[in-house]
Homo-oligomer: A and B are copies of this chain.
Amino acid sequence: MPKPAAPHPTAEDLARRQREISVSEFFLKNRHLLGFDSPRRALLTAVKEAVDNALDACEEAGVLPEIAVEIVQTAPDRFEITVTDNGPGIVRAQIPKIFAKLLYGSKFHRLRMSRGQQGIGISAAAMYGQLTTGRPALIRSRTAKARAAHEIEVTMDTRANKPVILQDRETEWRPEFPAAPAAEGGSPEPPAVSEHGTAVTIALEGAYARGRLSVDEYLQQCAIVNPHLRLHYRLALLPKKGEADAGSEADAATAADAAGEWRRWRRAVEELPAAPIEIKPHPHGVELGVLIQMLKHTSARTVRSALAQDFSRVSDRIALEVCARAGVDPKASPARVAHRESEAIFKALNEVKLMRPPTDCLSPIGEERIVAGLRKEVEADFYTAATREPAVYRGRPFQVEAGLACARPGAAEDIAADEPARLLRFANRVPLLYAAGACAITRAVTSVNWKAYGLTQPKGALPLGPLVILVHVASVWVPFTSESKDAIAHYDEIVREIVFALQECGRRLALFLHRRHREADAARKRGHIEKYLPHLAGGLRAILNLDDREEEKVRRKLVELLERSRGGPA
């Protein structure tokens, strides 16, 4: 009997097709979620992940960061990027997992501000490199002077999300950083060799373009919010066709890139930012399901001690109160708590009065440093910054900072007819370049009524004028809208804090603009007085038959009178 064509599958047939999907298979197919959707963005994302990791490692180990970023074009659509840092280095056994396993790291489970938080970034960059060039990632790392450096080539088995080590050898490698010529009024920086640090090299398919959303823009903004960073950058592009005809300024820059000269950002400060302290979860940010899991997995022997030990702001006394309210025996074993009891504890935890979570888990940039960063970057007449007090969303502390720089602010009219303000977005000191439209920062900035501060603003848009607006959101867990970490999700609490910070800056801007306006007004009035008073005095002289001295006296008295009447300097 012939088999019927394509019979419909049964439940058993369907069952045979079910299988596990590894997280690397998932993200390989969905690489646009990780920021690798176009060659240009891929290049930026790879550099960004490597630099963010380097900065985190340096700061955690208490090392003033020095980082070198090298991008070498090896074919029209291929680049080799190397990011070298002077951080603490990585012990040999961890290297393969950190660079060739998605969802692996130290930052995910900790409540503490850091740039990385997902355990995806750098291994995703290596995975993308492997996908597009078939090449392994090369990592060199040294943890101390006394130790040898390790040089490891690693790829990912994407079917299992596991590293495959291709090379693993000891070398004499040390991180080296290029010398810098003397800046104006400064001294030259000698080439530096560090006793410890890490360098990662990834070959990938990419595209380089100058300007907005470029690696250059990212590094520049990085330098603004990390004034303690010494950064070196070298871009070596293949010569383009027809390069010989070049003559313009842009072409000169291209020529420099083709030559591959090192550029650098110096440190503006020589101290590290305050190190953020890890905190425990705050009960008001813990969902019922998480509470149940925490009680199940706690190392504490009683419910009371589990609450006091595993949560932030729950003292032994409060733990006792919670148990009493919930009608749960404080000496009960946490693993044996019934569902109804968990619900009761959950309810009680949300009813008792608790201090807000501690905020030393955050390390804001600070108003002074924001203004300093803006001064370095933006030529303007007015600078201000506001760092808000820490706040809480879903039990997680966060803190918002805003900065403003305003050029040519002579009069409000002056600012009006221009381009939209330039918005610089940062989360945990990392510049956010893509997906501005989806970001809570953009929503907050456009929802502020900038007209109240003397600016022009199209409805629901950025204010117009030669203005730079900077917003920094720092949190133990920044709620990004996607794994590529380009935009912050719209939590009301966060949007509100951003608005408050911007309004604080806006009010100061308004005062400044108002004063400027008044001064311009006064100058104009004074002009009128100076123009017409002599004629008035001359008229009075003719009528009253005054002599020269008397006329001069009358003129002077009139000036005094008018100056007083308009409230100017007596």
Contact = CB atoms under 8 A, between A and B. Distances in A.
A481 B437 CA distance: 14
Interface stretch (A56-64, A208-216, A257-265, A413-421): A56-64
A292 B196 contact: no
B103 A26 contact: yes
A339 B134 contact: yes
Contact of A60 (B9, B101, B287, B477): B9
A187 interface: no
Interface string A443-466: 000000000000000000000000
Interface string A228-262: 00000000000000000000000000000000000
Nearest to A28: B290
A143 interface: yes
Interface string A1-45: 000001011111011011111110110111011000100000000
A361 interface: no
Interface in A105-123: 105-106, 108-110, 118-119
A569 B437 CA distance: 56
Interface in A382-413: none
Interface stretch (A91-99, A313-321, A517-525, A534-542): A91-99
A65 interface: no
B22 A103 contact: yes
A96 to B, nearest CB: 11
Contacts of A62: 8
A22 B20 CA distance: 14
A18 B489 contact: no
Contact of A61 (B8, B61, B97, B133): B8
A483 interface: yes
B33 A482 contact: yes
Contact of A105 (B18, B275, B287, B437): B18
A293 interface: yes
A18 B343 contact: no
Interface in A319-370: 339, 342-343
A19 B104 contact: yes
Interface string A112-156: 000000110000000000111111000000011000000000000
A479 interface: yes
A109 B483 contact: no
Contacts of A14: 57, 60-61, 88, 90, 106
A32 B480 CA distance: 9
Q: Copies per complex?
A: 2
A446 to B, nearest CB: 13
A297 interface: yes
A132 B288 contact: yes
A131 B12 contact: no
Given A14-B60, A133-B288, A289-B131, A479 B105 contact: no
Contacts of A275: 6, 8
A269 interface: no
B61 A9 contact: yes
Contact of A134 (B22, B88, B342, B489): B342
Contact of A19 (B109, B132, B289, B481): B109
A159 interface: yes
A8 B87 CA distance: 12
Contact of A88 (B11, B63, B277, B477): B11
A89 interface: yes
Interface in A180-239: 196
Contacts of A6: 275, 277
A437 B90 CA distance: 42
A546 interface: no
Given A10-B88, A29-B108, A131-B287, 14 more contacts: A8-B61, A10-B61, A11-B144, A12-B143, A14-B90, A17-B110, A18-B98, A19-B104, A30-B480, A32-B489, A33-B482, A134-B292, A159-B293, A438-B438
- Return the 7 tightest CB-CB contacts between A and B, nearest first: A8-B62, A131-B289, A17-B106, A11-B143, A21-B103, A15-B91, A11-B88
